[in-house]
Amino acid sequence: MPNMRKLAGRGGLYTLLGAFAFFGAFPFYWMVIATFKTDHDLFSPLNNPFLFNEPPTLDHLKVLLFETHFHTYLTNTLWVGLAVVIITLVVAVPAAYSLARWARGWGEMLGIGIFLTYLVPPTILFIPLSRFTSSLGLQESLWSLILVYPTFTIPFCTWLLMGFFKTIPKDIEEQAMIDGLSRFGAMSKVVLPLSISGVLTVVVFAFTLSMHEFIYALTFISVSAKKTVSIGVPTELVRGDVFQWGSLMAGALIASLPVAVVYTFFLDRFVAGFTMGAVK
Amino acid sequence: MTGPPVSNPAADGARAGLLDREGALAKLMIAPAILYIVAMIGVPFVLAVLYSLSDATTGDPSLTFVGLRNFGAALEDPVFRLSLWNTVFFTLASQCIVVLLSRLLATALLKNFRGKGLVRFLIMLPWTAPISLGTIGWLWMLDSIFSPIDWVLRYVGLLGVPGALLGAGTNLYYLGIPGLAISSIILVDVWRILPLATVIQLAGLSSIPKDLLEAAEVDGASPWRRTLMITIPLTLPITSIAFLFGVVFTFTDLVVVYVLTRGGPVHTTQVLSSWTFFKGIEGGDLAQGAAISLFMFPVLAAVAILILRMARRTEVV
């Protein structure tokens, strides 16, 4: 009898997880289907929409890759992402180290203050920032995004790195300094190599957060050739009023999956940042 | 490995000098971050407040102060009032559902089973993939003619035949009818935040000491009682944090509404962020836009305070 109960419990567990996985992933399955379906199959309301009623086709992919700006969106996203990663690292690593090592009184307040700025949403900042970037002559330029995206990567990544640096015992640096390294040398030669996983996490997040960003890109950029994937795909792959569903879904899918795979590996660390390191 | 530091006067003097220099180094290292945050978050925030008190437009961005006129105008605008209500309603409705579902899902994910990595990847997709692209998938699923949901409903006879439960029409028009459009937005909000809330809940659940639960079991506490008396109280702070972050993200989100309905049909799904965008950027009325967006601030400030309190309480646990 206990075996039966256990089996039923397992069954229930799989059903529950299956239902949630279905709910989470179905829109992406839907993208896969649309990507490879012929237009005729896609737009016949009587066809079973879950199956290929006609042989699959690569036409939508060809249109996406050769007749749209999709590859430009990808390159733009890549450039913006890389630049934001570099700026974030250059600013957040020293700040986090400083807060982790010398934080007493004011330092702790400052750390919390930096974290709180993460809660000031782009929906409040985008109007003044749009004026600001255009007064610098950066309208329709990727530089406007590179300048503004660190507003959400720096606070979050500083906070995240601070947690990492705090887990490295001070003795290690002190020993290195006794052995003749300067504080800076101890930081760059001893502490940074030890916190490489923290730095890697920051690289991943600065990049994915930049790639996910929507409001600033929508507000600052309207020229098709300068768009990033997160706004290019939803706003440009529409001819007049007609959605090119096949290519649209292909674009959404191709841009989503790689970043989702990488992000999943780092998700737990991302959450450690959210819970403010309170849960170990 | 290392002996205790030997104290002698000369070394103490050197150490004091080092500490002085370290103080300067500490400030130098944190300065760029502070400067950037002040320049790119602090100043724009103040600018938003100034815009909201002025009559600035995209055509004439100079600041002439008009007092609280923009806030008054916003409050008299029925679309604004609807946006305010929708923002609160969409957020609370979706986040209450998210808290319940994420607890259920986190409890399930706590168990070991075959294929966990894949299941986790699929469940996390709505959060890990760019939100605008995921929402585009929903736009196609909620299409007025080709929605697979309608197809299934027609297939099982709930739709599209005379006398069917959901009507004789061939489609439900999810994004075209106010009630359905509102439900669709809430559904996609739930879909989007559920993974994040789940992972936060998971962190909370796995931090409960196992021996506490085992001791309670030995003492004869039923599973219900263990949940009620141990799991829920111990994970309450972290559940609150999951809820509060969900609130922040949903409350300020533009993407779901912008991609699915653009606030339609006839403004019935308009929210503060989308109305800010349409008024302030597309309509060019910077002052009105800034005033509308600032209505979000009190809620965000309250949430920030609550998050800090909860974080302190978790640390005590």
In our burial notation (b when 16+ CB lie closer than 10 A, e otherwise), range A221-230 reads beeeebbbbb
Burial class (CB in 10 A: 0-12, 13-18, 19+), B107: middle
Say yes or no for a CB contact (<8 Å) between B44 and A268: no
For the whole model, what pTM was predicted?
Answer: 0.89
Higher-confidence residue of B97 and A276: namely B97
Cβ contact A45–B44 (<8 Å): no
What does the DSSP 8-state code read for residue A238?
Answer: E
- Which residues of A are less than 8 Å from B257 in CB distance? none
Q: What is the model's pLDDT at position A139?
A: 86
Instruction: Give per-residue pLDDT as tens, A67-115.
Output: 888 999 999 999 999 999 999 999 999 999 888 887 666 777 888 888 8
In a mutational test of the A interface, the residue from B1, B123, B125, B236 whose CB has the highest number of chain A CBs within 10 Å is: B125
What is the C-alpha to C-alpha distance for residues A228 and A214, in angstroms, rounded to an integer? Answer: 9
Measured between CA atoms, how close is A256 to chain B, in angstroms? 5
Which of A24, A124, A257 faces B48 most closely, judged by CB atoms? A124
- A221 versus A8: the higher-pLDDT residue is A221
CB neighbourhood size of A263 (10 A): 23
Chain-chain contact of A148 with B40 (C-beta, under 8 angstroms): yes
- The distance of Cα A158 from the centroid of its chain, to the nearest Å, equals 16
pLDDT value, residue A1: 54
Contact flag A234-B108 (C-beta cutoff 8 Å): no
What is the arithmetic mean of pLDDT over A14-26? Answer: 94
Helix (H) or strand (E) holding A243: strand A242-243
- In angstroms, the separation between the Cα of residue B98 and the nearest Cα of chain A is 12
Model ipTM value:
0.88
Q: Are A248 and B140 an interchain contact pair (Cβ–Cβ within 8 Å)?
A: yes
- What pLDDT tens digit does each residue of chain B (317 aa) get? 344 444 444 444 455 555 557 778 888 888 999 999 999 999 999 999 999 999 888 888 788 888 899 999 999 999 999 999 999 999 999 999 999 999 999 999 988 888 888 999 999 999 999 999 999 999 999 988 888 998 999 888 888 788 778 877 888 889 999 999 999 999 999 999 999 999 888 888 887 888 888 888 888 888 888 888 888 888 888 888 889 989 999 999 999 999 999 998 999 999 999 999 999 999 989 999 999 999 999 999 999 888 888 777 665 43
The reported pLDDT for the residue numbered A275 is 63
Chain A: residue whose CA lies nearest to B140: A245
Residue from the list B44, B237, B311 with its beta carbon closest to the beta carbon of A128 = B44
- pLDDT, one tens digit per residue, over A144-197 is 999 999 999 999 899 888 888 888 888 888 888 888 888 878 888 888 888 888
Would you give the distance in Å from CA A27 to the centre of its chain? 19
Determine the pLDDT at residue B139: 93
Give the per-residue pLDDT at A237: 80
- Between chain A and chain B, how many beta carbons pairs sit less than 8 Å apart? 289
